[in-house]
Each structure stands twice: as C-alpha cells, then as structure tokens.
Structure 1
Amino acid sequence: MGHSRSCEVAVIGAGAAGLVAGRELRREGHKVVVFEKGESVGGTWVYSSSVESDQLGLDPCRKIVHSSLYQSLRVNTPRECMGFFDYPFVPRPSNKERDSRRFPEHTEVLLYLQDFAREFELMGLLRFGTEVFDVHLVDEGRWMVRSRKVRMDGCDDSVADESEVFDAIVVCNGHYTEPRIAEIPGIERWPGKQIHSHNYRVPEPFQDQVVVLIGSSASALDISRDICAFAKEVHLSSRSAPDKQPMSKQPGYDNMWLHSMIERAHADGTVAFRDGSTVRADIILHCTGYKYNFPFLKVNGVVTVDDNRVGPLYKHIFPPLLAPSLSFIGLPCRVLPFPLFEMQSKWVASVLSGRLALPSQEEMMMDVESFYSKLDAAGLPKRYTHAMLDYQSDYLDELATVCGHPAMEEWRKQMSDMTLKNIRSRPDSYRDEWDDHSLVLQAYEDFHRYCKSL
C-alpha cells in the first residue's frame, strides 16, 4: 500500500516520545505541530529543583511541577539500550563536560534529547510555552485543539486562547506527573509529614529523621540509599516482603531495614507493619508510582482511565472507536522507553499516511478484550495493564514486523534482561560494575553500521 494522504497532526508533549513521534510523522509526509508547555525539549528529563506546594500531589489546584527527577538520579538502563535505533546514545568524548559513563546522570539524557532534536531539525515543529487544555472532535472526524501561552514570568494576566483544527492527535504527555498514593488505614490521624517521590529532590531535608519509604521500584532503591546518609533511620515497606517475615536490616547499611506492607498508622506517630514491627516515624515517603492523566482530552468516555488502565486501546496505542486519528505514544512502563516510543511512532505515522492499515474496529476491540482476559486469568490487577516487563521484546518485535523494521537486536534484549537481574542482586553497584562486555562490543558493531559517522 503506498502513501495516500498527508495529515495535519498535533503532537502533545516534546519529551522523548513527542520528539520521535514528530520525526516519524514528518518522515512519513505529515504536517506536524508539537505542543510543549515548557520552554525546552526533554519532558520529564528537564530537572527542576522546585517542588509542589502539596508534596503529596493531591490538591487539584496546586501548581504542577512537571519534573519528577531527583538531583542524584543516574539512569538504571545502560546507555547502549536506551538510545533510539538510528541515533545511538553514545558518549561524546570531545566534550569534557558530558557524562560518558554507561549509566550516566539525568543531565546527559537531556543533552542527548537536545542533540536528537538538532540532528533531525525538529525545532521548527515545536511550539514552546504552549499549554493544550482542550482537545475534542469536531465535524468530519477532525480535532479541535485549544491552547494558550504559558506565562513564565509568574504574571496572572490572561492570555488569549488559540483554537486550531487537526486531522489527528498523538498524545505524548508522559506519565510521571500525577502521583499515586498508598492507602494507609489511620493515616488521617497520623501527625507526621508525607511526601511523594515526585517532590523528592535532595536528601538534606531528611537529616536526623526517621523515614518510612513505601515502594520497591528502581527509584525507591535509589532514594532510600540517597537519604540513608542523612536520615536517622530508613524503613522500607515493600509488597515483596512476606507479611510473616520479621523485619531485616539491609546488607551494608546500619540504619536501613526492610519490612512488609504497612498495617496501620497511629495518632501517636507510630507506623505498624504486617510483620508485627512498629516504628515511630517522622516522614512517610511514597515511592508508589504515578497515574495516567489526560485532563485536556474530551472524548465522552470513549477512552477512560480505570485503576491506571487506559482503555480500551489496541496494542496500547489506538482506541478502536477513534483510530487512527487519536493515538497514544509511551504508555507502557517497565520497558526500554526510547526504542518503544520510536517503534510505536513509526506505526502511527504509517497508519495515518495510509501506507499501513489497521484491523477493523471490531477486530481491534476483540484483541483488546482478549488481552484483558489474559491479564484477568493471570490474576493481574488493572493497574498493571501497561507494565510490559515480561513481554516487551515480543511487543516490539510485533510492531517491527508490522512496520517492516528489523527486530530489536538480540544484544539489546540480553543486556536489558541482565541489567534487571543486577538491579535486584546488586542494587548498590550494578551501574559501575558489569560483566556484559561482549554485549557492549556487539552493540557498538551495530552502531557503526547504523551510523557511519561514529
């Protein structure tokens, strides 16, 4: 099937997903505008020392800080795995200010995305300082996008709204802004301070505090080790710790313990765990993830968010009743994000141009329902719908086949799997001690084939 049309497409968000979506859409011949509320590319990779006034993120009227980065963050995936397929995330030895480590700090990722935007001349597609606040269908299946300029000077003077019509919407607004909070019985009477990791930046405010940290994700591991150098005690509460197993001191730390889940918080300041232990805590730090949130999208319930399941979506991208004019890039988690964004974007761009076709609405809905049934049969709650840890390779290979793109490299799959195992077994050293040198050599052999300039 050849190219049959060029669409006017609005991409919402200029993080990694929005940038590669813009590139792939333009490559396919579409006219693209990328709306970005901030003043630069990078999305969640733009660090801000600011935190929200409500550090739990529950107040809907709070001024939202988009970034969830903490100052010490280093990536938890090797740079060889992270990069886009045809633009590897390789060190820049000619620039002494760049971080050349395999697991670099967050600023290096932002610089990589800035390099990507310049390399592929994407800046002309971007409309910075522009907030999209309303997206809805109008006549003939097109979309009205209403936006307004964001005042960066703190002034509250009103700014005129702008309305534009597009053929298609690609949602790339990220999912690390709206916090999910653990439900703790008795918390309303507990007198201590609560924070979500979205508002964690540096460890110094935890000096001499007794901290209960909820969660076992990579960021929870990082933050617990960050604050233990300052806190009096750090108590980790994890779903993975059996309820009947006594609390245990973490190897290598004198002031860090692992507990089961929290049973209850009490008015006297204590926190009781299911393992029977009790701690008098000053702070509860929620490292409990995020909610998907699309406040601008008005589709009359055709797409909903139910316990963090965005749906119904065909292959995590297309709502069957609104496909292909509405799509989502970057919803899956526990993945190699940039390669996944790229492959999803290739598919969306090709479908919009008519070069590839989607199944019928009925077939797409049947596929979604079959997928949900498999999750139910496996006992997985809805909140894990987009968690792909065990099948991301199959998913990416499926998209690659549809798009006529080579499958994900075997070295990338093996390197990713090995890193996950190392995170679990060596959380303190996996970034600086590794044993996958043969895979690194394979990666750079491929990089030289992809990019002759390397």
Structure 2
Amino acid sequence: MVSSINMSKNVCVIGGGPSGLVAARELRKEGHNVVVFEQNHDVGGQWLYDPIVENEDPLGRDNFLKGKDLRWVVKTTAKTAMDKVVEEVYDAVVVATGHYSKPRLPKIKGMDAWRRRQIHSHIYRVPEPFRNEVVLVVGNSLSGQDISMELVDVAKEIHLSAKSLDISEGLIKVISKYDNLYLHPQIDSLHEDGRVLFIDGSWLIANTIIYCTGYSYSFPFLDTKGIVVVDDDRVGPLYEHTFPPSLAPSLSFIGIPRKLIGFPFFECQAKWISQLLSGKKTLPSWDEMMQSIEKFYHSTDVAGIPKHNTHDLANFEYCDKYADYIGFPHLEEWRKELCLSALRSSDVNLETYRDSYEDKEMLQEARKSPHFTQLGTEAFAP
C-alpha cells in the first residue's frame, strides 16, 4: 500500500501540539477532511504551559486506534462526567504526539526503596519548593544544567550526577562560580536512610532527586498488531522516520526525529504526508522501503550509535533531503548558522548565551529573507 487515489481523505491527527497543528494545516490545504484529537483543554502540546503537574498522568488516557481493512477505527473518550466513548472510522491516521510525554527513568539499585522525594524534570516548574534542600540532579544535558542553575540561589546544595565527567567549558564555569554546586559520577545505589552512593565510592544524603534523564516514545493508544513497535526507543520499522511500510501511507508519524530544527522539519513531514494521501506523491515499494530502513539501521550499528539514539539525527542535511521529497526550500544558511552559533555559545557561556547578541548580522539577514512559512490568511481558510 504505497500510493493513494487522488481524492479527499478523512484523516485523524492525534495530538494538537506543534507537529499536529502543522499536519492539520497541510492536510486541509490538500483538501482532506481533518479531525485533531488533543488530550489537553487546548492546543499547543508542550508549549501549552501548565503550572501544576504534580498529579498528572503524563500519558493521558489510553484512547484506542486500530487498523481495519486499510481504514482506522478511532475510539475516543471525552473528558466529561459521562466519559462518553465515540467510535469513528478514518482513511488515515497521523500520529503527532511528540516525544516529551513519557519520562524515561534510569534503573538504579535501591530506587524503589529510597523513601525521599524523587521526581522527573517533566514536572519541575519553579525552584522555590526546593529551598534549603540538598538536591541531586541526575543528568547533565540541557534540562539538568538549566534546573541546576535555577536551584543555586534557593537550595542548600545541588549535586549534579553525570555519566561522564568530561563536561563543557560552560558547565565548568558554572560549577566553579557557585560553592553549593557539585559534580559527581554516576549513581551506584540508593539507600533507605537517604544516602546516595556514587560509583567512585563517595556518597551524600539528599532530600530530593530530580531525574533529568529524557523521555521515551510511547503510543499506548495505537494498535497495529505488532507491525509498529518501540524497542529501546527505536520506533520501527519506519521509512524515513515517518512511514511503517506495511501501513503506509494510511499511518504516519510526525515529530519522531530529535536533535534537529523541529518546526521546519515537521512542516516538511506534514507536506509529504498530505501530498501522498492526495496522490501527488508516491512512496517506493514495500521492499525498497524495508531495504532503506535496514540500511539505515546497519549504518547506525557500524557507527556505534546505541539503539535508543536511532532517531537522534542532529543533521541539517537530513532536513534538506526531506525537503527534496516535496520540492520545499532547503534551510537557509543563516538559519543553520543561528542554530550552530547558539550551540557554540552555550558550550562556552552556559549562563549568558540566551542574552548574547553576537549574531546581530545574521538576524538582520533573517529579517530580510521571506520566511518560507510566511502565508496569507487565505492559506488557513476552510
């Protein structure tokens, strides 16, 4: 099932965040009938800020989708007192639920028996609840660094545990600046009395542990009879991280890849999916798609990339490759350089790079260049 008839389809988009919204827009532009399902009270996804998340189930409700004779049966539950279940049938489903919903937690000896507070960064909001505490932050990537820097003015001590002690110049500066911020290796074990033992034999007693350990892909609402599976954070098999060959193009995913310029990439994905469903584009054969997937998996194995990093692309060229599928403009050089400039600056000046204006010339160039998503109101008409 690799091509589609040139006719309007009834399409279900799961998720009303950035990727789901652009999917809905592009599908409507191609003449498809679109329904977007969103578990929150409004659209926006992770950009819809909620100040209170302590009691939240990060996965929401397990609504149910299943394929039936190349169409999709969608059962949804309205969040009302009646919890009414509605069943509808769609020609295609676009899964746009992102990858920032299901917290990924490490497996640490004694974790279940540790009686003090443990949270994931997913529910962290402000530093005040941690005033005068000894806080252990696990993970020194973006969220771990940001939360640690927020805590230095309120917490008694902040201890940052990292897989590697080979850290950036920017983080070295921050740790050197604050006398209540410490760096540790990985955790060996947790103990009921509050002790945290590290692999180098050192230990401390903490009040709270904040796990800044990322997220896992999860689609509890989707039943593909085992055709699409999540194996150690590899969602597959997916052709170009988007289409399961056996179900394409009636099932597709937007927003699976990580570590790229998200919004333009989501737009490319949405355009490609929309044009495939309207018959303007076709996919390769099932065999060709599977061969492409296996070739990609082999290349990651040869490069020593762990399976759970399958979708970490970090590659401008891949964005351009995707654009070529639909005749979309490549990312402008100024856009790439703005991104790289911010990354370089953060590596050196972790506390101040957001306030840096060293890229004024690039910003001026950006303002002169028409944004390739700059559209008139007619583009959003029904």
TM-score, with length taken from structure 1:
0.77
SS in 2 for 1:447: coil
Structure 2 residue aligned with 1:21, among 23, 41, 47? 23
1:377, distance to aligned residue in structure 2 (A): 1.2
Alignment correspondent of 1:347: 272
Alignment correspondent of 1:236: 160
SS in 1 for 2:354: coil
Matches within 5 A, 1:160-199: 160-199=84-123
Structure 1 residue aligned with 2:75, among 146, 153, 159? 146
SS in 2 for 1:188: coil
Letter in 1 for 2:109: P
Separation in 2 of the partners of 1:168 and 1:224? 44
Structure 1's unaligned 5+ residue stretches are: 54-62, 68-130, 152-156
Alignment correspondent of 2:57: 64
Over residues 72-122 of structure 1, what are the superposed CA-to-partner deviations in whole Å (9 max), with x where a residue is unaligned? xxxxxxxxxxxxxxxxxxxxxxxxxxxxxxxxxxxxxxxxxxxxxxxxxxx
Superposed CA RMSD: 2.2
Contact 1:25–1:346 (Cα < 8 Å) also in 2? yes
SS in 2 for 1:344: helix
1:358, distance to aligned residue in structure 2 (A): 0.6
Letter in 2 for 1:437: K
Alignment correspondent of 2:380: none
Letter in 1 for 2:39: K
Task: Kindly indicate whether residue 187 of structure 2 is the aligned counterpart of residue 289 of structure 1.
Answer: no
Matches within 5 A, 1:129-144: 133-139=63-69, 141-144=70-73
Alignment correspondent of 2:199: 274
SS in 2 for 1:182: coil
Over residues 222-256 of structure 1, what are the superposed CA-to-partner deviations in whole Å (9 max), with x where a residue is unaligned? 1111112111000111123159xxxx880221211
1:348, distance to aligned residue in structure 2 (A): 0.6
1:400, distance to aligned residue in structure 2 (A): 0.8
Separation in 2 of the partners of 1:376 and 1:316? 17
Change (3 A) 1:303 1:396: same
1:450, distance to aligned residue in structure 2 (A): 6.8
Alignment correspondent of 2:145: 221
Letter in 2 for 1:296: F
Change (3 A) 1:19 1:195: same
Separation in 1 of the partners of 2:178 and 2:12? 50
Change (3 A) 1:159 1:270: closer
SS in 2 for 1:422: helix
Alignment correspondent of 1:422: 345
Separation in 2 of the partners of 1:282 and 1:419? 34
1:190, distance to aligned residue in structure 2 (A): 2.9
Matches within 5 A, 1:2-401: 4-53=6-55, 63-65=56-58, 133-139=63-69, 141-151=70-80, 157-241=81-165, 250-389=175-314, 391=315, 393-401=316-324
SS in 1 for 2:63: strand
Separation in 1 of the partners of 2:10 and 2:180? 57
Task: Kindly indicate whether residue 334 of structure 2 is the aligned counterpart of residue 411 of structure 1.
Answer: yes
Separation in 2 of the partners of 1:259 and 1:2? 55
SS in 1 for 2:277: helix
Identity %: 45
Change (3 A) 1:449 1:388: closer
1:188, distance to aligned residue in structure 2 (A): 3.2
Change (3 A) 1:210 1:39: same
1:270, distance to aligned residue in structure 2 (A): 1.9
Letter in 2 for 1:352: L
Separation in 2 of the partners of 1:419 and 1:29? 39
Contact 1:26–1:32 (Cα < 8 Å) also in 2? yes
Over residues 151-171 of structure 1, what are the superposed CA-to-partner deviations in whole Å (9 max), with x where a residue is unaligned? 2xxxxx433311111110000
SS in 2 for 1:396: helix
Letter in 2 for 1:134: F
Separation in 2 of the partners of 1:380 and 1:449? 33
1:65, distance to aligned residue in structure 2 (A): 4.7
1:387, distance to aligned residue in structure 2 (A): 1.0
1:443, distance to aligned residue in structure 2 (A): 0.8
Alignment correspondent of 2:379: none
Separation in 2 of the partners of 1:449 and 1:267? 56
1:263, distance to aligned residue in structure 2 (A): 2.0
Letter in 1 for 2:75: R
Change (3 A) 1:212 1:448: closer
Letter in 2 for 1:239: K
Change (3 A) 1:450 1:303: closer
1:213, distance to aligned residue in structure 2 (A): 0.3
Contact 1:415–1:436 (Cα < 8 Å) also in 2? yes
